[in-house]
């Protein structure tokens, strides 16, 4: 008769331990999936930032080249033609109306 209460006690303990093991395993699985999702998000963000850096470096090279041209006669001529519409006396401007 004394074995039945002891068996019930062992059965409850086993169930509690099993439940806790399942709960802990589920927690670890959730944490792993969450970390994987976060890693993918951060990797995509890093790649985006690296692309932005490359674009900015290309722009910096272009700006340095243009800055090196500042002060030359060719640069002044280019700016006068582009922004002020200046032309040489022997040049003719052709404007096409494309419709």
The domains of the chain are located at: 3-84
If you average pLDDT over residues 43-60, what whole number do you get?
97
Output DSSP code: residue 84.
I
pTM of the model: 0.55
Per-residue pLDDT tens digits for 19-34: 999 999 999 999 999 9
Cβ neighbour number for residue 76 with a 10 Å cutoff = 13
């Amino acid at each position: 008769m004394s074995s039945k209460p002891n068996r019930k006690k062992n059965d409850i303990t086993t169930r509690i331990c099993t439940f806790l093991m399942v709960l802990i395993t589920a927690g670890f699985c959730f944490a792993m999936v969450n970390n994987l999702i976060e890693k993918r998000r951060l990797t995509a963000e890093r790649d985006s930032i690296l692309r932005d850096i490359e674009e900015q470096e290309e722009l910096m090279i272009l700006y340095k080249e243009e800055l090196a041209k500042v002060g030359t006669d060719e640069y002044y001529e280019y700016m006068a033609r582009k922004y002020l519409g200046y032309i040489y006396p022997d040049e003719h401007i052709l404007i096409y109306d494309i419709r």
